[in-house]
Amino acid sequence: MTEVLFYHLRNMSLENVLPPLLEKSVERGWRVVVQSTSPERADALDAHLWTYRDDSFLPHATWRVADAGDQPIILAVEEGNPNRATVRFLVDNAPLPEDSSSYERMVLIFNGEDAEALAAARLAWTDCKSRGFDVTYWQADEQGRWRRRD
């Protein structure tokens, strides 16, 4: 069964939250697709992941590279699974892919301070529940640690 984690950003940016989550995914040996909604946004995330911390290396590429199938993390803007990922991150209100049930885990990160993003996340939550996915909701505490909320 697909597990879907909803990460509610409040007073946090995607640029601060995404790299540590991707680092944990790579440490666990997971292959990941990160889907945003525009080539420009994917390019900005690509540049950020190379430079977000001096002492870190996060192997990744965009969907445009010839060896996408060999990459542990692919940044994409459309459906598809070029690197045979088992985990898919959805950012910037990217929609649930049609093949959602083929992933072990999906992580939907949304900006809780944006009414459109909040509405999209609520629709995705309802959709995931109706498909029988195991859904959980996460919010950061005052120290920035993610806590499951019921």
Q: Which residues contact 92 (CB under 8 A, 6 or more apart)?
A: 14, 36, 37, 38, 41
Using 50, 70 and 90 to split pLDDT, how confident is the model at 63? Answer: very high
How much is the pLDDT for 57? Answer: 87
Q: Which residues contact 94 (CB under 8 A, 6 or more apart)?
A: 35, 36, 37, 77
How much is the pLDDT for 142? Answer: 84
Query: Averaged over 128-141, what is the pLDDT?
Result: 95
Q: 9-41: per-residue pLDDT in tens? A: 998 999 999 999 999 999 999 999 999 999 999
Strand locations in 1-150, DSSP E? Answer: 3-9, 32-35, 61-62, 73-76, 87-90, 105-111, 134-140, 146-149
- Structure pTM? 0.95
Domains of the chain in start order, with CATH, are: 3-139 (3.40.50.10110)
How much is the pLDDT for 143? Answer: 83
